[in-house]
Amino acid sequence: MTMKRPLLERYDTLVVERDLRPDAYQREAVKKLQALVDLLAKGQAPAAPLPKVLRAFFWQEQRPRGLYLWGPVGRGKTMLMNLFFDMAPVEKKRRAHFHGFMADVHDRLHRLRREAVGGLVDPVTRVAQEIASETRLLCFDEFSVTDIADAMILARLFATLFAENVLVVATSNVEPSKLYDGGRNRDLFLPFIALLQERMDVMRLAAPMDYRAQQDCAGGVFFAPADAPARAAMDALFLSLTGGAHGAPVTIDVKQRAIFIPQAAGRVARMGFAEICGQPHSAADYLAIAERFDAVMLEDVPVLAPEQRNEARRLIMLVDVLYEAHALLALSAAAEPEYIYDAPHGAEAREYRRTVSRLAEMRSRAYLEACVCELGPGAFRRA
């Protein structure tokens, strides 16, 4: 009788504990991830970069390939990534949302260019070497490319990471060939797609349904339409979350920029859509908000026209960042999430499907009960 592998055992236990629906497609992905765990456990990924004279010889036959796991929203990709990351027997490992990783890359590039004396031949390569010295396994959740600045550096960045023997595992809603689809100067991005396909196995997680959408809605954190009753409900929720404190305006400094928060008390922030998604904010700004606050209240989210791609992209980023941080998100909006941005095509339209799925989970009883912050009396408390 063949013994189960530890990752499969954990997956099966999770299915029982969370009363999840058994999924044959997820099990196949777990088997693929277990094979990577086995390779790593055998020492086929060195704890530090090999000397150049030995690197090519050692890795020619034994180098484990990365994994690019893609599929529609809500199929369990993040859950499987977390299981794999926890079990991966690598000391230097990093799990990051792709927005957060690229924000870190741009910070490092800015620092190197500022400190460079006599010019820097290739700061992107230097940054990749820095990251490789710190991390032997990189796990990316929600791999997506919408920013031209990211698109133009990814091939050089990942070529160096792979050359330095960094193992990459990623989840995404799109197959590699559709990354940055329709983006400016996409022909310059194509070498990166070829590199991913060369160095990573690509697997589609074709689970039959969006499991997030099947969760029970606890209510109390989403209000539509954004009318007077919705505002009154948001007022009451803010006081509940803050223990009665009305708060005051605050600013957060990010790279010599000030993000204005109209109302904040403790770890709770309240802001309008026009202020936070209607202005040219970046992923770094939303990461700063998620670091500063455990609960975010976003008001007056409108129905966006198809051409309002920038506003849609910022909303997508904000929800991604808050979801990754396990933050409580309360919304008042002109319509239910699936109708806020209903563009017929484009990268943002595809990415927004993930936002709809994540908003469904973020208002579910399980998500609210699992939040891990200390809030005021009567609030949705995190465990």
Per-residue pLDDT of the chain (383 residues; tens, 9 = 90+): 344 578 888 888 877 776 677 778 888 899 999 988 888 887 644 444 555 544 444 444 456 789 999 987 777 888 899 899 999 988 899 998 888 898 899 889 888 887 765 555 688 999 999 999 999 999 998 888 878 888 888 889 999 999 999 999 999 888 999 888 878 888 888 999 999 999 999 999 877 666 565 555 555 789 999 999 899 989 988 888 888 888 899 999 887 788 999 999 989 999 999 999 999 998 889 999 999 999 999 999 999 999 999 999 999 999 999 998 889 999 999 999 999 998 888 788 888 988 998 898 888 877 887 774 444 444 544 43
Contacts of 96 (CB under 8 A, 6+ apart): 104, 138, 139, 140, 141
User: Domain for residue 380, yes or no?
Assistant: no
Tell which of 204, 221, 256 closes a domain. 204
pLDDT at residue 209 in the model: 63
Instruction: Output phi, psi for 234, to 5 deg.
Output: -65, -40
C-alpha 201/C-alpha 359 separation (Å) is 30
Are both 188 and 301 inside the same structural domain? no
Are both 93 and 61 inside the same structural domain? yes
User: Domain for residue 379, yes or no?
Assistant: no
Are both 311 and 361 inside the same structural domain? yes
User: Domain for residue 377, yes or no?
Assistant: no
User: Domain for residue 375, yes or no?
Assistant: no
C-alpha 264/C-alpha 13 separation (Å) is 40
Question: pTM value?
Answer: 0.66
pLDDT at residue 56 in the model: 46
User: Domain for residue 343, yes or no?
Assistant: yes
- What's the structural domain count of the chain? 2
pLDDT at residue 310 in the model: 92
Are both 217 and 199 inside the same structural domain? no
Parent domain of 186: 6-204
C-alpha 163/C-alpha 55 separation (Å) is 9
The torsion of the CA quartet 337, 338, 343, 347, rounded to 10 degrees, works out to 80
Cα angle value 365/366/368 (rounded, 5°): 65
Tell which of 139, 171, 204 closes a domain. 204
End-to-end alpha carbon distance in the chain: 40
pLDDT at residue 64 in the model: 78
Are both 153 and 260 inside the same structural domain? no
C-alpha separations of 146 from 109, 176, 310, 328, 345 in Å:
19, 13, 10, 26, 14
Are both 157 and 32 inside the same structural domain? yes
Are both 186 and 243 inside the same structural domain? no
User: Domain for residue 49, yes or no?
Assistant: yes
Are both 231 and 327 inside the same structural domain? yes
Task: List the strands of the sheet with 295-301, edge to edge.
Answer: 222-223, 328-333, 295-301, 268-272, 257-265, 248-254
Are both 155 and 216 inside the same structural domain? no
User: Domain for residue 382, yes or no?
Assistant: no
DSSP 3-state of 169: strand
CATH number at residue 30: 3.40.50.300
Are both 161 and 45 inside the same structural domain? yes
- The H-assigned helical ranges of 164-276 are 190-199, 228-242, 273-276
Tell which of 139, 174, 204 closes a domain. 204
User: Domain for residue 104, yes or no?
Assistant: yes
CATH number at residue 243: 3.40.50
Are both 352 and 325 inside the same structural domain? yes
Are both 227 and 147 inside the same structural domain? no
